[in-house]
Amino acid sequence: MQRTRLNTLVTSVVEQLELLFINPWRRIALSLISILMGFFMGSAIVTTAGQDAVWDVPAAAILFAFIELISRFVYGYRSKSIIKVRFPLWLNTLNLFKIGVTYSLFLEAFKLGS
């Protein structure tokens, strides 16, 4: 890639964010926020799509594709590296967001089943 101003700016911002979240408590806080935001988004999508019976199947297909693509990307990244290293911050945050969405979908299914 060329060294453009935008590329340099994005690289420096990412490096500063990585330095900011080296602190374990900040990383834990970001992880918790990511899980809760995923839980909220999953519940919001399900309840909004459930209001009108037309959007149930497309919303389920989009959520399924989203969850499977993130899983393939995250766990494919881990298998590419020979040495087991810690996930990058953005990949860990995205995986925890996916876990929150999945948990909210299971919870909504249990609520509908009872």
- Ordered by start, the domain boundaries in the chain are 23-113
SS3 content of the chain, % helix, strand, coil (to 5): 85, 0, 15
Structure confidence by residue, pLDDT tens digits, 71-81: 998 888 766 66
Structure confidence by residue, pLDDT tens digits, 2-19: 889 999 999 999 889 888
Cβ(46)–Cβ(33) under 8 Å? no
CA 53 → CA 50, 57, 60, 92, distances in Å? 6, 8, 12, 34
Relative orientation angle of helices 89-113 and 56-80, to the nearest 10 degrees: 140
CA 109 → CA 30, 49, 98, 102, distances in Å? 27, 14, 17, 11
Which pLDDT score is estimated for 22?
Answer: 86
Q: CA-to-CA distance for 63 and 48, rounded, in angstroms?
A: 13
Q: Tell me what the mean pLDDT of segment 28-41 comes to.
A: 95
pTM of the model: 0.81
Which pLDDT score is estimated for 55?
Answer: 84
Residue 83 has pLDDT above 70, yes or no: no
Which pLDDT score is estimated for 114?
Answer: 64
Which pLDDT score is estimated for 18?
Answer: 84
| Cα torsion 90, 91, 97, 101: sign | positive
Residue 99 has pLDDT above 90, yes or no: yes
Structure confidence by residue, pLDDT tens digits, 37-59: 999 999 999 888 878 778 888 88
Q: CA-to-CA distance for 76 and 18, rounded, in angstroms?
A: 22
